[in-house]
Amino acid sequence: MALSCNLNRYLLLMAQEHLEFRLPEIKSLLSLFGGQFTSNQESYEKSPFWILSLPSEDIARNLMKRTVCAKSVFELWGHGKSTEELHSSLKSYPVEKMVPFLHPDSTYKIKIHTFNKTLTQEEKVKRIDALEFLPFEGKVNLKQPQHIFSILEDYGLNPNCIPEKPHNIYFGRWIADGQRELIQSYSVKKRHFIGNTSMDAGLSFIMANHGQVKENDVVFDPFVGTGGLLIASAHFGAYVCGTDIDYNTVHGLGKATRKNQKWRGPDENIRANLRQYGLEKYYLDVLVSDASKPSWRKGMYFDAIITDPPYGIRESTRRSGSQKEIPKGIEKCPESHVPVSLSYHLSDMFFDLLNFAAETLVLGGRLVYWLPVYTPEYTEEMVPRHPCLRLVSNCEQKLSSHTSRRLITMEKVKTFENRDQYSRLLSDPFLPYQGHNSFREKYFSGVTKRIAKEERSNQE
C-alpha cells in the first residue's frame, strides 16, 4: 500500500506471543480510533518490529492504551540494515521534527533494545556514542528523563543462528507502552471465582480488542461461565451481561475448581470477580439460560458478543429440551416438568450463535468467538458464514498436534431479515462444517488419556 506523505512513521515493538492474533488486534484498534493500518512492510508474521504510518501521535497513544499484543510504540526517526544506513536515514529525518525534543532545557536518555542477542555494556555505550551527530542539546537524566530515545536492533528469529550484525536497526522516540501488565494483574491464578475453562487473561483482552469494545458499549456473552470475557470488556468501560445453562456456575454454587478447596465460597460469583477489579459498576446481570433458546425480546441490541462456546472437552455442549424431543427408546419421566438436558451438536450451536448475533448486534457490532477444529480436516470453508455477518479475521491457536481453536471475528454489515435465519439450509458452504460435530472424539483420538490430560493442563 502506498504511504501518504503526511503520515508519520511509527515503530511498534510487538510481543512474541499469540503471533496470529497481533495483526487483527492492531487493525481493529486502529479502525476503532479512526486510524487505518498503513504500512509498506512485507510481512508481520513473526517479526517483533513493525513499521506503520499513522495520522497522529494521539492515535498511537490510544492504540497503546488498549493493545496487549504490542509492547511499545516509538516515533521512528531512522531505520537501516546497517549502522551506516541507520545514520544516513537519521540525517535525512527533518531537524524541525527532532528539535522540540532535543532543546537545551530538556532531559533525555537513550536506551538500547536488542532482539535475539545480548550486548555488553561497552557495546551499548559505543552505539550511543556513535549518535553524536544528532543535535542533542539537553541533559542526560537516567532516572526521570523527559524524553526517552531507543536504538532497537533486530538479530532475527533463530536463536541457534545469531548473526554478528543485526538485520535491521531502528532509532526512535519512545511514545508509550502497551497493556501487557494486564496479563499479570488480571491473571486467572489470582482471580476470586474461576472454573475449569476460565479464559486466560491475555486472550480475553485480545478478544475484547478484536471485538472493538469501547466505553458505554453493552457486551454480551451467551456462554458466560465464570465471566472471564466480561471482565476484559468491563475493563475497557463496557457494561456486561451473560447467560449460562449451568445454574451452579451462574449462582457460584457447587464444587470449587481450586485444588485445596471443596466447595465454592459464599461470594464466588461473576459480580464478585468484577468487584475484585473495581469494575462492579459495569455489571448488568447474568442469567441461567440456554443459548439455543434465547429469551431476549425483539429489538434488543448488543454492541458486541464475545464468547467461548463449549467444545465438549472439559464441559458438555448442552441445551435444554422438552420431553417431546427425547428420541424414541429413551425412557421419559412423566412427572418431571423441568426441561431435560439434550446434547447440542456443535454445528447447530455455532449456527444458532451466528443467527443470534446477526439478529441482536447493532450494525457494525462484532461477534468474536472460538471455533474448535480438527486440524487435519480443517479448511477455511468450514468457518460458518451468515449473510448479515462479514468475516473480519480468523486466527489459529494450536491446542495439540491435531486440534486447534480458531478465534473468529465477524462484523454485522446488514440488517437482519426473517429469511436470513434459514440461510444455512439454503447454502452448500455450510455442509463441511458438519464435521465439527465429532470434535470431541477427534480431540481424544490417537492420544492416550494421559497425553490429553497433559495438553489440557498446559492450556490452564
Ligand X SMILES: C[S@@+](CC[C@H](N)C(=O)[O-])C[C@H]1O[C@@H](n2cnc3c(N)ncnc32)[C@H](O)[C@@H]1O
- C-alpha–C-alpha distance, residues 233 and 210, integer Å: 11
Does position 410 interact with ligand X (CB under 6 A)? The reply is: no
What binding mask, one character per residue, do residues 240-259 give for ligand X by CB under 6 A, x or -? Answer: ---xxxx--x----------
Q: How far, CA to CA in Å, does 266 sit from each of 90, 259, 276, 282?
A: 62, 17, 15, 21
Q: Of 145 and 228, which has the nearer Cβ to ligand X?
A: 228
Residue 226 binds ligand X, judged by CB under 6 A: yes
* Nearest distance in Å: CB 8, ligand X: 39
Shortest gap between Cβ of 273 and ligand X (angstroms)? Answer: 9
Whether residue 261 contacts residue 225, with contact meaning beta carbons closer than 8 Å, is answered with no
Count the Cβ atoms, other than its own, within 10 Å of residue 100: 10
Of 33, 35, 21, nearest in space to 66 by CA:
33
* 341 versus 379: smaller Cβ distance to ligand X: 341
Interaction mask 334-373, ligand X, x per CB under 6 A: ----------x-----------------------------
Q: Does 195 bind ligand X (CB under 6 A)?
A: yes
Segment contacting ligand X by CB under 6 A, of 23-31, 314-322, 399-407, 442-450: 314-322
**Interface segment toward ligand X; rule CB under 6 A; list 150-158, 194-202, 276-284, 329-337:** 194-202
Q: How far is the CB of 310 from ligand X (least distance, A)?
A: 4
Residue from 25, 153, 154, 290 that binds ligand X (CB under 6 A)? 290
Q: Taken in order 321, 439, 286, 219, is the CA torsion positive or negative?
A: negative
Using the contact rule CB under 6 A, the part of the chain among 20-28, 190-198, 437-445, 447-455 near ligand X is: 190-198
Task: List, in order, residues 6 or more apart from 146 with CB less than 8 Å away.
Answer: 106, 107, 108, 138
Look up cell 419421566; give the residue.
333
Task: Check if the beta carbon of residue 19 is closer than 8 Å to that of residue 46.
Answer: yes
Q: Is 154 in the site for ligand X (CB under 6 A)?
A: no
Residues in contact with ligand X, shown as a per-residue x/- string from 423 to 442 under the rule CB under 6 A:
--------------------
Nearer Cβ to ligand X, position 303 or 308? 308
Give CA angle at 38 (100, 203), nearest 5°.
100
Nearer residue to ligand X within complex by CB, 232 or 383: 232
Among 198, 233, 360, 400, indicate the residue that binds ligand X (CB under 6 A).
198
Residue 308 sits in the site that holds ligand X (CB under 6 A): yes
Q: Does position 225 bind ligand X by CB under 6 A?
A: yes
Smallest separation (angstroms) from ligand X to the CB of 1: 36
What number of chain residues touch ligand X (CB under 6 A)?
25
Binding test (CB under 6 A) with ligand X, winner from 44, 155, 220, 223? 223
Give φ, ψ of 79 to 5 degrees: -155, 140
Residues 6+ apart with CB under 8 A from 38: 1, 3, 4, 7, 52, 53, 54
Indicate which single residue of 169, 199, 274, 313 sits in contact with ligand X (rule: CB under 6 A): 199
Query: Residue 212 CB, nearest distance to ligand X (Å)?
Result: 19
DSSP, residue by residue, 297-322: PTT--EEEEEE----SSSS--EEEE-
The span of 12-20, 316-324, 327-335, 430-438 binding ligand X (CB under 6 A) equals: 316-324
Applying CB under 6 A, the span of 3-11, 167-175, 275-283, 309-317 interacting with ligand X comes to 309-317
| 401, three cell numbers | 498436534
Rounded CA-CA distance 26/201 in Å is 18
Cα 107 to the chain's mean position, in Å?
37
Q: Which residue has the cell 536488542?
A: 114
- Asked whether position 209 contacts ligand X by CB under 6 A, the answer is no
Q: Measure the CA–CA gap between 288 and 277, rounded to whole angstroms.
A: 24
Task: List, in sequence order, the alpha helices (H) in 131-240.
Answer: 182-185, 201-210, 228-235
297 CB neighbour count, 10 Å cutoff: 6
Q: Which C-beta is closer to ligand X: that of 150 or that of 307?
A: 307
Which chain residues interact with ligand X by CB under 6 A?
A: 195, 197-199, 222-223, 225-226, 228-229, 243-246, 249, 290-292, 308, 310, 315, 317-319, 344
